[in-house]
Amino acid sequence: MALINLGIYSEKLGMQTSVNIVVPQKNTCGEIGVSNNVKDGRFKCLYLLHGLSDDYTIWMRRTSIERYASEYGICVVMPDGARSFYSDMKYGMNYYSYIAKELPQIIEGMFNVSDSREDRYIGGLSMGGYGALKIAMEESERYAAAFGLSPVADIRNSNFTETLTPVFGEDIPDEADLFYLTTKHNMDKVKPRLYVTVGREDFMYDDNVRLNKHLENLNYDYTYVETPGSHSWELWDKTVQDALKWMLK
């Protein structure tokens, strides 16, 4: 795998921003201790989102995502979403439009990455898990599957009130609510596969249980997994491997 720290200009943000990317590399003969499953053709691609207190570097710092990606020969793109909840902010920047729409066009124009829906995925943890599920719902013709690791499942019931005001304003709109969005898109002809996992000691566990019960009554290809653990990187380093296995089955 090749690791690239890419500086790009985003028209949606109106500024330069940074992205970490791991890209499959075919010729790795002699490299010790890693597997390489690169296939011919354009690469499948996962857009992997960070949480509220982190930035685009965190997945490389806290997990072995490069090694995990190499087992499947996929590209992983890790953008910076600031504290936006991956939304077009009321008092801020258009992170939803940048990450959901603009960034895939940039990446697919620069790298040997497939532009097919079937090869494009999105996932994340906590705030990023919420963002991934929301984006997949609204952009179902772009993303084949989405996963949320310990996601902010119930935005209206969250403990992030002060953080959410710059994002959504004084009132959270329906389009920001995963319960509303999954119901809204339930009868769509094209829907993403969904995967949600949460630790039983997570402070948002009850919210995730409610979302699970809600989704069980809808018409989605949906997988829900509970594990021991809290809202921590010790858990996410494991569950991201499980999510990749599910995603690429």
Q: CATH number of the domain that 19 lies in?
A: 3.40.50.1820
User: What does the block give as tokens for 227?
Assistant: 């594990």
Q: What is the pLDDT of residue 32?
A: 67
Q: Which DSSP string corresponds to 131-185?
A: HHHHHHHHTTTT-SEEEEES----GGG-S-HHHHHHHH-SS--GGG-HHHHHHHT
Q: Is the pLDDT of residue 30 over 90?
A: no
- The SS3 assignment for 20 reads strand
Domain hosting residue 220, numbered range: 2-247
**How do residues 114-165 score in pLDDT, each as one tens digit?**
999 999 999 999 999 999 999 999 999 999 999 999 999 999 998 888 899 9
From 101, 125, 91, 104, select the one nearest 19 (Cα to Cα).
104
From 43, 18, 173, 11, select the one nearest 108 (Cα to Cα).
43
The residues pairing with 45 across neighbouring beta strands, listed in sequence order, are 75, 120
**How do residues 165-215 score in pLDDT, each as one tens digit?**
999 999 999 999 999 999 999 999 999 999 999 999 999 999 999 999 999
Reported pTM: 0.96
H helices of the chain, in order, are 58-62, 65-70, 95-96, 103-110, 127-138, 161-168, 178-184, 205-216, 233-247
Q: How many domains does the chain have?
A: 1
